[in-house]
Chains A and B, each alone.
Chain A
């Protein structure tokens, strides 16, 4: 795989006395599609939110291109322009149309001019199949459509790394597919992604690295074949058997 982009070292996070993440280590290289799986409450989402600095890690460090982003004096907002995030609940801006949602970050944060931002936004809206809906407002869209716009919004910032926090968990079953197929396309084009998901087929077929988390630690990780076909840990085996047979 390519150059190392993100490195998480000894990351821990607790909310008061409640320890959510314990001593997490992992690395993401250029072009990696990493999926993080595990039961609810195992700390998957918190890990992803720590990576985007939406939560402040209690200890440990996060290196982006070998430079710490958790240390003092680091502008979180500048870092976040390079690390996009797609949320479970979409979080599209309700006061803007689809097109404005995809333009605002470019014009206000990256300071691109309107024309360029619009062109770029259209490119990505086209990619996720939402170009016909540029004049719609989020409340007028279905869940799957909203999530595809949210993906286009993140892509329009042209991030080096894209984080997905259970992007299909809030969707009706018939809308899961449209979002997953967009994500598959992205993976195929070499986008570096970290995906927290309960979609085991996606983890198995699309990702090249699977991380299984349990009770705030990385219990097992490796290639999809290794984790899904030959899980070493008892907890992984139990989790997978529940998922694949249930």
Chain B
């Protein structure tokens, strides 16, 4: 009981002194995770689309070569950035630029480096997720789009990707939550996220456990709110379960689940062909 009271007192002490540091950490973490996830998704979608451009043996050699080259580049990108730790990628990129340019160029803003690293990392994972999402869509959707004259780009943009996006929403949510937590490694390039606030606070006070408790609660709050919002968004993408019937008939039902056998049009259910026996 004593310890809990002590913990409460320590947390209060930390909070009174470092609240603004913790809060700006939360803000930085969320902004970085959100921006990087969005850019990462865009990278992932571009890679996914490039990877699924149809190619046939009958295409001309130049087109086939370019498509093959694109696939190799995307593959290398995915394997390299998925296969190395993000903390190392941060060091690699942040210190690599001045190293290679002899100090002429460097990241003036740590934000830029952090967003770049996390986006590229997320993009590598998303590329495979998007590819899976595209493959999961029934080929009939592509045929339907082609049959009304859409080209590959239009088919992707209007028909396949919106559906793929819905299917990979849970994975996008995963990536966002992973990013909220994993941006903590960006302290290595002195990015001041939520975890960096912890390092600052304990460096002066040595209150490791109380500060870690604040951090645990803070991260959990962020991820729980994120899960909740993502689920709301998924529901919204699914659209309403019911729909409004567009009819000028004042007596007709104005909304409904599925079709109503007694309503609708003269082709419904009790149509001529069926009642007259037809050919079945």
Contacts and interface: CB of A to CB of B under 8 A. Distances in A.
Interface of A: 52, 54, 56, 76-78, 80-81, 84-85, 87, 89-95, 97, 104-105, 108-110, 128-137, 140-142, 144-145, 148, 150, 153-154, 157, 173-174, 176-178, 180-182, 184, 199-202
Contacts, number: 142
B72 interface: no
B132 to A, nearest CB: 18
Interface of B: 56, 58, 138, 140-141, 143-151, 154, 158-159, 162-163, 166, 239, 242-247, 252, 257-259, 263-269, 271-275, 278-280
17 contacts: A91-B140, A91-B144, A108-B158, A109-B150, A129-B266, A130-B265, A132-B263, A144-B267, A145-B268, A157-B148, A176-B278, A177-B272, A177-B274, A177-B278, A178-B274, A181-B267, A184-B273
Contacts of A97: 243
A131 B249 CA distance: 12
A154 B244 CA distance: 24
A95 B245 contact: no
Contacts of A84: 147-148
Nearest to B245: A132
A154 B147 contact: yes
Contact of A54 (B138, B147, B151, B273): B147
Given A104-B148, A140-B242, 20 more contacts: A54-B143, A80-B148, A85-B143, A94-B163, A97-B243, A105-B149, A129-B267, A129-B268, A132-B245, A132-B264, A140-B258, A142-B258, A145-B268, A153-B148, A154-B148, A177-B274, A177-B278, A181-B273, A184-B273, A201-B278
Nearest to A168: B280
A92 B144 contact: yes
Nearest to A244: B279
A95 B163 contact: yes
A89 B154 contact: no
Q: Which of B58, B144, B258, B259 has the most CB of A within 10 A?
A: B144
Contacts of B147: 52, 54, 80, 84-85, 87, 91, 154
A108 B273 contact: no
A150 to B, nearest CB: 8
B141 A181 contact: no
When A and B form their complex, which 3 residue pairs have the shortest distance between CB atoms, in order from nearest? A129-B265, A201-B279, A91-B144
Contacts of B143: 54, 85, 87, 91
A154 B267 CA distance: 18
A89 B140 contact: yes
Contacts of A80: 146-149
Contacts of B138: 91
A237 to B, nearest CB: 19
Given A92-B144, A140-B258, A178 B279 contact: no
Contacts of B56: 56
Contacts of A141: 258-259
Q: Which of B145, B245, B271 has the most CB of A within 10 A?
A: B271
Contacts of B151: 77
Given A140-B257, A140-B258, A177 B58 contact: no
A173 to B, nearest CB: 6
A94 B274 CA distance: 28
A14 B269 CA distance: 41
A153 B146 CA distance: 13
B161 to A, nearest CB: 9
A93 B141 contact: yes
B264 A109 contact: no
A140 to B, nearest CB: 6
Nearest to A80: B149
Contacts of B258: 140-142
Contacts of B266: 129
Contacts of A85: 143, 147
A105 B265 contact: no
Contacts of B243: 97, 133, 135-137, 140
A114 to B, nearest CB: 14
A10 B66 CA distance: 34
B56 to A, nearest CB: 7
Contacts of A91: 138, 140-141, 143-144, 147
Contact of B267 (A109, A153, A178): A178
